[in-house]
Amino acid sequence: MRSLSSGYTTWRLRRQAPVTRMAAPAAKRAPLWPTFSIVFLLCLPSIFPPIALTVLNGMLVGLAAAVVLITNRQVDRRLLVIISIVSIVAVLGFVGGRDAPIYEYFKDAWYVANPVLVMLAGYTLYAMKPDLGRGLRAFVIAGLIVACWQLRGYFIDPTLITLPAATIRRYIGTGSYVPVLGLVILIVFVGHWHRTLKLPSWLGGLFFVVTATAVAGVFSRSALVVVGIGVAALIGCFGRREWWRVGLPAVMLVLAGYIAQLYVDTESDYALQTYGGKLARTLQELTVGDSLGARDINLNFRAFETNRALDQYAAAPVQEMVFGQGFGATVDLGITMPLQISDTGFRGVRHIGIFHNGYIFLLTKVGMVGLLLYVGVMAYLYGVGRRRADGPLADPEVRAGRLFQFAVVTLAATTYFIAGVFNRTDMFPVLLLIGFLLAHWREQLQPRQRGIAPLPTPTPAAAGQARG
């Protein structure tokens, strides 16, 4: 009788189980528009002018503010720190440049404010759909789309591959950093494409080949540096005790650069057209010094403009050295250079207000105080990533922390040679990624901040009991 009773009870539970599952409310699916928005925003700079990005970012920030007000969410403390520091920098620029031409005045203000808008946009997109893997996959997909767009010239005319690097760049352009970021994400999450990014291994491999080909096909030195930073972040070169891993190779590369200047042809017309000659000239173009001839100035313009800016800074009053000349300030090159494109060709410019070196931009506009505040923001963000980058690579969160380290180090490095965060479009995807990851870690902290313990992971036995 006992066995019959237990059997009858089991039969009744089995009959009721499907009814229970059917009666359970269906899980609400997260919206898809944040994922599409990431892809759209990353592909947009290749089509529309940068001001369009600013408008869209402003709309996203407005949406974020509405979400905060409606849901009574607390504003992220880390974002408040960044916004507060950038606001101080903006005040320095506004006060110091109040007598400058109105267009140059507000253009510089936009250059300073735009990075924060982009980070807020990335933060908002994650807050709308808190899913790390699918969000990072959107970054990779955008990289694939832009990579295919960059490679279209090779498909139209395969003979391009036989031409010198400089000629190829004139045909297909200088490239975008969206494929670079997509490639770095694939590198950092290698072995986790299916687990974290929700990409089958064969598809991840295809994405890797296409983005790597696109990055190599534009012959960009800065893109090569950024990919190298990604590899260094993956293997833990930016850990507390591992700086020698990145310091030693960096010193060796610098020595190799100086040796190349001595023994490799970097001055002939042929060398200037090749990628090898371009690589050999890298340090020469970035080294601050006096360039006497017009040809030297053209070939080493980054070093020339930096030298002129430093000369002007050294001759400025103490107040301007400390607090800067303000938004709208320019540097006198001492010579007219064909820098601006007009309807009839290039137009001569003698005074410039935007520089390849973002640190010089800050030093000129907001002085030593503004420069130190910017370095402080970079150091603060680096500390945020470092606390999450220590641990085994089997943990996806550790890889996300190292990806964050990559993003911050990339911003700090590229600020020196392509203006970094003050570049209108190049660092847009990296800034978007920083905001995205900050929001990810914010969502992780939410249960703890509310005093709610996270749900325990069910054991197999407990899962079996729940199913029974």
Task: State the pLDDT at residue 296.
Answer: 66
**Does pLDDT of 402 surpass 90?**
yes
Share of the chain above pLDDT 70, in %: 67
Closest CA to 426 of 225, 260, 270: 225
Residue 126 structure tokens: 């994650």
pLDDT digits (tens, 9 = 90+) for 41-67: 888 776 666 667 667 767 766 766 676
pLDDT band, residue 40 (cuts 50/70/90)? confident
Helix axes 178-188, 396-417, angle to 10 degrees: 150
Task: Quickly tell me which residue has 């253009």 as its tokens.
Answer: 107
Most confident of 58-67, 91-100, 224-233, 363-372: 363-372
CA angle 216, 222, 225 (to 5 degrees): 85
The first and second tokens of residue 144, run together, are 């694939």
pLDDT score recorded for residue 62: 73
Of 381, 465, 467, which Cα lies nearest the Cα of 421? 381
388 and 404 in contact (C-beta within 8 Å)? yes
Q: Where is average pLDDT lowest: 44-53, 111-120, 310-319, 430-439?
A: 44-53
Residue 461 has pLDDT above 60, yes or no: no
Q: Among candidates 34, 85, 55, 143, which has minimal Cα distance to 443?
A: 34
Q: CA-CA distance, 18 to 13, in Å (whole number)?
A: 9
Q: Is 333 helix (H, G, I), strand (E, B) or coil?
A: strand
Helix (H, G, I), strand (E, B) or coil at 178: helix
Share of the chain residues as helix, strand and coil, in percent rounded to the nearest 5: 70, 5, 25
| Main-chain dihedrals φ then ψ at residue 332, nearest 5 degrees | -80, 115
Does residue 353 contact residue 329 with C-beta atoms inside 8 Å?
Answer: yes
Smallest CA-to-CA distance from 331 within 319, 318, 316 is with: 316
| DSSP run (H or E) holding 340 | strand 331-342
Strand partners, 347: 340
Task: Reply yes or no on whether the pLDDT at 121 is more than 70.
Answer: yes
pTM tops 0.85, yes or no: no
For residue 119, give the amino acid letter: M
Residue 27: predicted pLDDT:
42
- Under the banding of pLDDT at 50, 70 and 90, the label for residue 247 is low
CA distance 390 to 386: 7
Cβ-contact 422, 411 below 8 angstroms? no
- What Cα–Cα distance (Å) separates residue 121 from each residue in 103, 165, 412, 438? 25, 36, 21, 11
The most confident of the ranges 86-95, 162-171, 439-448 is: 86-95
Q: What average pLDDT does this structure show over 394-406?
A: 93
Residues 6+ apart with CB under 8 A from 443: 126, 127, 130
Is pLDDT above 80 for 73?
A: no
- Residue 151 confidence (pLDDT) above 60: yes
What does DSSP say about strands 345-352 and 331-342: parallel, antiparallel, or unpaired?
antiparallel
Res. 336 pLDDT band, cuts 50 70 90 = confident
**Residue with the two structure tokens 């020595």:** 255
Q: Average model confidence (pLDDT) for the chain? A: 78
Distance from chain centroid for Cα 297: 30
Residue range 181-189: mean pLDDT, rounded: 96
In this predicted structure, what is the pLDDT of residue 328?
A: 93
What per-residue confidence (pLDDT) applies to 370?
A: 94
In total, the chain counts a number of residues equal to 468
Q: CB neighbours (10 Å) of residue 128?
A: 18
CA dihedral of residues 312, 315, 319, 324 (deg, nearest 10): 10
CB 26 within 8 A of CB 129: no
Nearest residue to 35 via CA among 104, 118, 128, 114: 128
Confidence of residue 238 (pLDDT cuts 50, 70, 90): confident
Q: Is the pLDDT of residue 416 over 70?
A: yes
In this structure, what DSSP letter does residue 457 have? P
Backbone angles phi, psi at 75, to 5 degrees: -70, 135
Q: Where residue 13 falls among pLDDT bands split at 50, 70, 90?
A: very low
